[in-house]
Amino acid sequence: MAFRLAGLAMVAVLAALASLLVGGTPLALHDVLHALAHPRARGDIATIVWQLRVPRVCIALVVGAALAVAGALLQGMLRNPLVDPSLIGVSSGAAAAIVFALVLGVAAPLVPAVGFVAGIATAVLVATLARRGAGIDVNRLILAGVSLSSFFAAIIATVLTRSRDADYSTAIIAWLAGSLAGRGWHDLGFAAPYAIAGLLLALLSVPALNALRLGDVRAAAVGVNVDRAQWMILAGSSLLAASAVTLSGTVGFVGLIVPHIARRIVGSDTRNVVLASIGIGAALTALADAASRTLIAPAELPIGVLLAFIGVPTFLYLYLHGGASTR
């Protein structure tokens, strides 16, 4: 198993390297490696690598890993293979806030922060509605998440249909379609601490999540504090999803599909699924970003759209061939 997990980590590294090579200006492997080895070097290639490609690839890796881990956590906690991070309302809440921010003319650098705060606020609202006693009622969580997502989607649709300003409509659509265009170190610096906090919560809750595969009663019997584990999982996945949506807009399917691919490779043990999801999610998103930059160059295809094109058939294949299991 360690061999497979190490292999997936290597795939993520290779995907990142491949993503550094492609774009508006294709670069040779030895030029990229030289620039990486000499971060203080000057010149066009060093500028392209360190100011454009590296931050963007890092963002793709963070977004992919964050969404994949959030998906693995939520699918495990809710024991439902159809769950993805958008279920807890983070993406739709953030998107609605971003739409308002763009319409109201909020300065562009502040827009991701608005999205992050709104995403977390939505997750808190969903968790409040789903609360029962000291714990979380998973059916209420799904109901609250789906309801609020629909509500925010209606708000976004209303704004878009009333919009006569092509500039911010284009910006809104870019957020909704998911895009890494124009993202850089500043965005990564803002979101990374929250993504790391979310990942730490996720990693801390993994042993409990693994025991929850036996059901809440048996998990409690072997010493799991089920209420605390549920809150940690929800907090961790909310932070991860909010970090991702802040960096990339609404990118679907990574959180849904990657845990399924991970189970195919490493089995159903939650501990391995979460670790494998980090590597697969990062690799998949880095490759998708590279493709989004090159397929219709010099224009870009939104990464969310590209992942949906890949994701839908992949998910249907996995689901219809018996790969959809959460336990």
The single-letter code of the amino acid at 167 is D
CB 144 within 8 A of CB 129: yes
For residue 236, give Cα distances in angstroms to 89, 212, 241.
14, 16, 9
Interacting stretch for other proteins, rule CB under 8 A, among 120-128, 173-181, 213-221, 304-312?
213-221
Interatomic CA distance for residues 207 and 277, integer angstroms: 16
Among 9, 204, 305, 308, binds other proteins (CB under 8 A): 204
State the minimum distance, in angstroms, from the CB of residue 7 to other proteins: 19
Nearer to other proteins, 7 or 207 (CB): 207
SS3 call for 132: strand
320-70-170 Cα angle (round to 5): 90
Nearer to other proteins, 222 or 299 (CB): 222
**Site track 162-201 with other proteins (rule: CB under 8 A), x = hit:** ----------------------------------------
- SS3 track for 63-108: HHHHHHHHHHHHHHHHCCCCCCHHHHCHHHHHHHHHHHHHHCCCCH
**Contact call for residue 220 and other proteins (CB under 8 A):** yes
**Contact call for residue 298 and other proteins (CB under 8 A):** no
Nearer to other proteins, 74 or 224 (CB): 224
**Contact call for residue 133 and other proteins (CB under 8 A):** no
Among 27, 206, 273, 306, binds other proteins (CB under 8 A): 206
Among 18, 52, 159, 214, binds other proteins (CB under 8 A): 214
**Contact call for residue 82 and other proteins (CB under 8 A):** no
**Contact call for residue 157 and other proteins (CB under 8 A):** no
Among 269, 305, 312, 324, binds other proteins (CB under 8 A): 269
**Contact call for residue 276 and other proteins (CB under 8 A):** no
**Contact call for residue 218 and other proteins (CB under 8 A):** yes
Among 7, 26, 189, 207, binds other proteins (CB under 8 A): 207
Strand partners, 291: none
Name the strand (E) or helix (H) holding 315.
helix 303-320
By CB under 8 A, the residues from 8 to 37 that bind other proteins are none
What tokens appear for 118 in the block? 């709104």
End-to-end CA distance of the chain: 18
Q: Rounded to the nearest 10 degrees, what angle do helices 303-320 and 166-177 cross at?
A: 30
Distance of CA 65 to the CA centre of its chain: 6
Interacting stretch for other proteins, rule CB under 8 A, among 169-177, 191-199, 235-243, 263-271?
263-271
**Contact call for residue 137 and other proteins (CB under 8 A):** no
Q: Which residues of 257-277 are buried (b: 16+ CB within 10 A; e: fewer)?
A: bbbbbbbebbeeebebbbbbb
DSSP assignment letter at 135: E
Nearer to other proteins, 20 or 229 (CB): 229
Query: Which residues, at least 6 apart from 295, have a Cβ–Cβ distance to it below 8 Å?
Result: 301, 306
13-187-194 Cα angle (round to 5): 80
Distance of CA 185 to the CA centre of its chain: 18
**Contact call for residue 132 and other proteins (CB under 8 A):** no
Nearer to other proteins, 29 or 82 (CB): 82
By CB under 8 A, the residues from 226 to 255 that bind other proteins are none
Number of residues that bind other proteins (CB under 8 A): 22
**Contact call for residue 110 and other proteins (CB under 8 A):** no
Residues that bind other proteins (CB under 8 A): 204, 206-207, 210-211, 213-215, 217-225, 268-269, 271, 325, 327
